[in-house]
């Protein structure tokens, strides 16, 4: 058996636990701890060099879990180390789920840093690892922005839900009746800030309430009197609570609304920053109606190089937009739940993009409506998720072929032009083209990608950064 060294590193905030195994699974040395900083990592590199030289190992494989943000500085330092370049080195960042499932093979094993580093090293030794992929630093930089935007959007949704739960105490009918289409719009916020309970709002005369609504909405409402009556009735039909309790809840609600405004301002600033950075990426996704720079950035930042996915099915699995089949004997389950095991960030941006395309893209709007009518159980969620799955096929086709999007009418016209060109060609050229391998027989091809209509060749190429660092990604 070849003389290989396998090193598992359990990464944590303060220190990194290192365990070395040979190809037979024997311990090369005792497990060692190194500080999770630059001096500690340099000591780790020198330690690995001494083991490689002492044991005359032919190659070195280092693995660590891609946990939070703790792994990346260590990974980057090891990958760019000049001291390790003299050896045959492979450095992998592993999906924590891969290690967690492998650990189950060891029954009654304790959960600690020492055991974790051993499990990682042993998993490296067994092989059959996901193929190591690379991601440019420019994608990682964009990813930091899009993931932070995801975090702010999630925080915004949680803050709204928490505020709604408080509003039920002071304004119980607010969430049930919903007097405004946007319950956290400018007009609604002004009312919630000014009146600390529904009782106080109910005491306001209709005429005065009309003036307040007209001023806050800038005369946006078509029937201001009807809207004023609805708000007044909503306040009167709400429960009444003690004033001392209502005042404290109102204080919290005002703080939440201020925090909500701040989060929305940060999201707007992020959108501008992302749009500016996206100008460096000449991307065909921007040709799709309903997908702007922010949604396109969220998708390509997580995908990176599309060539690392053999087909659209693998991309869908990576995004977690697949459904597990339930089958036993002659029974086949009708309900197939979404896996939700892939990249949560990519899945979020695919869902958001699908929701936007339903509004701005007639082709996907009709597809959504058709799927919506197929069932009465969770029709919106099901139809939206299936629309996102359809979008995965489109994104894969456009990125892999570097082509622009065409509407169904444009695709039909494009096919007619191609047919005319073929008919006008000489028999020799047609015969030569007919000998080519069909798309369905080509490697990594899928029928769904084949039947997807796309546009003419997208000639603009993405600018390459000179001397750009690339990082291995295994998720």
Question: In this predicted structure, what is the pLDDT of residue 450?
Answer: 37
Question: In this predicted structure, what is the pLDDT of residue 418?
Answer: 86
Encode pLDDT of 36-92 as tens digits: 999 999 999 999 999 999 989 989 999 999 888 888 899 999 999 999 988 899 999
Residue 5 pLDDT grade (very low, low, confident, very high; cuts 50, 70, 90)? very high
Question: In this predicted structure, what is the pLDDT of residue 332?
Answer: 62
- As a whole number of angstroms, the distance between CA 248 and CA 256 comes to 13
The most confident of the ranges 28-42, 85-99, 454-468 is 28-42
Kindly report which listed range (23-27, 190-194, 202-206, 327-331) carries the lowest average pLDDT score.
327-331
Can you list the pairs that 129-132 forms with residues at least 24 positions away whose Cβ atoms lie under 8 Å?
129/92, 129/94, 129/474, 130/94, 130/95, 130/98, 130/474, 130/475, 131/308, 132/90, 132/92, 132/472, 132/474
Judge whether residue 109 has pLDDT over 90: no
Judge whether residue 468 has pLDDT over 60: no
> If you compute the radius of gyration of the chain from its CA atoms, what whole number of angstroms results?
29
**What are the chain's domains?**
4-132 (3.30.420.140), 141-278 (1.10.287.4070), 284-463 (no CATH)
Residue 448 pLDDT grade (very low, low, confident, very high; cuts 50, 70, 90)? very low
- As a whole number of angstroms, the distance between CA 468 and CA 423 comes to 47
Average pLDDT over residues 389-402: 95
Question: In this predicted structure, what is the pLDDT of residue 422?
Answer: 84
- As a whole number of angstroms, the distance between CA 353 and CA 395 comes to 11
Question: In this predicted structure, what is the pLDDT of residue 410?
Answer: 86
Judge whether residue 262 has pLDDT over 90: yes
| Cβ atoms < 10 Å from Cβ of 304 | 21
The number of residues in the chain equals: 475
- As a whole number of angstroms, the distance between CA 290 and CA 255 comes to 34
Kindly report which listed range (195-204, 232-241, 354-363, 424-433) carries the lowest average pLDDT score.
424-433
Residue 466 pLDDT grade (very low, low, confident, very high; cuts 50, 70, 90)? very low
Residue with tokens 């991307």: 283
**In the chain, pLDDT over 70 holds for what percent of residues?**
85
Encode pLDDT of 304-363 as tens digits: 889 889 999 999 999 999 987 766 666 665 667 777 788 999 999 999 999 999 999 999
Sign of the torsion formed by the C-alpha atoms of 28, 34, 37 and 38: negative
> Between the CA atoms of 246, 249, 255 and 261, what dihedral angle is there, to the nearest 10 degrees?
-80
Encode pLDDT of 159-188 as tens digits: 999 999 999 999 999 888 999 988 899 999
Residues whose CB is less than 8 angstroms from the CB of residue 206 and which lie 6 or more positions away in sequence, other chains included: 225, 228, 229, 232
Residue 133 pLDDT grade (very low, low, confident, very high; cuts 50, 70, 90)? low
């Amino acid at each position: 058996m070849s003389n290989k060294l396998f090193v598992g590193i359990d990464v944590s905030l303060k220190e990194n636990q290192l365990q070395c195994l040979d190809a037979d699974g024997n311990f090369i040395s005792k497990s060692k701890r190194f500080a999770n900083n630059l001096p500690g990592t340099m000591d780790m590199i020198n330690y690995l060099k001494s083991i490689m030289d002492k044991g005359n190992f032919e190659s070195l494989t280092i693995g660590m879990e891609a946990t939070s943000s703790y792994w990346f500085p260590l990974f980057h330092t090891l990958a760019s180390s000049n001291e390790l370049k003299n050896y045959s080195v492979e450095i992998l960042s592993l999906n924590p789920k891969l290690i967690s499932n492998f650990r189950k093979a060891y029954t009654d094993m304790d959960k600690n840093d020492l055991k974790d580093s051993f499990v990682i090293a042993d998993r490296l030794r067994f092989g059959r690892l996901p193929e190591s992929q690379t991601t440019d630093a420019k994608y990682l930089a964009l990813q930091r922005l899009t993931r932070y935007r995801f975090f702010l959007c999630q925080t915004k949704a949680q803050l709204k839900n928490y505020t709604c739960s408080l509003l039920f105490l002071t304004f119980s009918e607010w969430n049930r009746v919903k007097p405004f289409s946007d319950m956290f719009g400018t007009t609604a916020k002004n009312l919630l800030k000014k009146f600390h309970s529904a009782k106080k709002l109910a005491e306001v005369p209709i005429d005065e309430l009309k003036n307040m609504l007209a001023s806050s909405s800038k005369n946006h409402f078509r029937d201001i009197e009807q809207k004023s009556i609805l708000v007044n009735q909503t306040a009167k039909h709400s429960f009444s609570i003690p004033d001392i309790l209502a005042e404290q809840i109102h204080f919290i609600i005002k703080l939440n609304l201020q925090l909500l405004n701040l989060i929305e301002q940060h999201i707007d600033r992020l959108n501008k920053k992302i749009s500016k950075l996206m100008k460096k990426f000449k991307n065909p996704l921007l040709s799709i109606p309903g997908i702007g720079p922010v949604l396109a950035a969220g998708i390509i930042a997580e995908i990176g190089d599309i060539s690392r996915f053999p087909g659209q099915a693998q991309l869908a699995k990576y995004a977690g937009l697949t459904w597990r089949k339930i089958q036993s004997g002659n029974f086949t389950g009708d309900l197939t739940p979404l896996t939700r095991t892939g990249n949560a960030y990519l899945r979020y941006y695919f869902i958001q993009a699908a929701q936007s395309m339903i509004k701005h893209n007639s082709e996907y709007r009709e597809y959504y409506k058709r799927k919506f009518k197929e069932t009465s159980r969770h029709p919106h969620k099901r139809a939206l998720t299936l629309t996102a799955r359809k979008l995965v096929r489109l994104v894969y086709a456009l990125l892999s072929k570097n082509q622009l999007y065409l509407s169904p009418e444009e695709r039909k016209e494009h096919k007619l032009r191609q047919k005319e060109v073929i008919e006008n060609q000489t028999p020799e050229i047609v015969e030569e083209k007919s000998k080519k391998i069909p798309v369905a027989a080509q490697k990594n091809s899928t029928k769904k990608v084949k039947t997807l209509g796309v546009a003419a060749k997208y000639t603009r190429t993405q600018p390459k950064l000179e001397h750009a660092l690339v990082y291995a990604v295994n998720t």
